[in-house]
Amino acid sequence: MSVYLLATLDTKGAEAALVRDRFCALGVEVTVVDTGCIGEPAFAGDITREQVFQAAHTSLDSLCQRRDRELPLRRQRPARPQWCARAFAQGRVDGVLALGGSAGTTIGTAACARCPWACPS
């Protein structure tokens, strides 16, 4: 079993590490996806924030300079369903867990939008 763990590692890094470690202890393979954009990540994700923004055809650096959390979330949104659906189709992921409050919900529902077990975004 494998899970994508989506988290803003700049604000939810400790929580993401705890969840990752718990899943691993249960034998679940975890791919940590860093969806953060404001501060330094607590640790490097398996899929980095730079990769997430690159997949959305935008630059993380230009967005981070604005110190606006909403704009980067909107800009990376198109990429999330594509890579989650691709990973699911290739048998690399069985589920997705997004950590956070309203931003985590937005990130998670968008990421799962094209997966058969998903909630609509």
Domain boundaries of the chain, sorted by first residue? 2-112
Alpha-carbon gap, residue 99 to 93, rounded angstroms = 17
Sign of the alpha-carbon torsion through 11, 13, 16, 18: negative
Alpha-carbon gap, residue 18 to 67, rounded angstroms = 27
Examine the pLDDT at 120 and tell me if it is beyond 50: no
Residue-wise pLDDT tens digits, 41-76: 999 999 988 887 777 767 667 666 666 566 556 656
Angstrom CA distances, 59 to 49, 51, 52, 56, 104, stand at 10, 10, 10, 9, 21
Looking at residue 18, its pLDDT comes to 98
* pTM score, whole prediction: 0.80
| pLDDT-derived band at 25, boundaries 50, 70, 90 | very high
Looking at residue 37, its pLDDT comes to 78
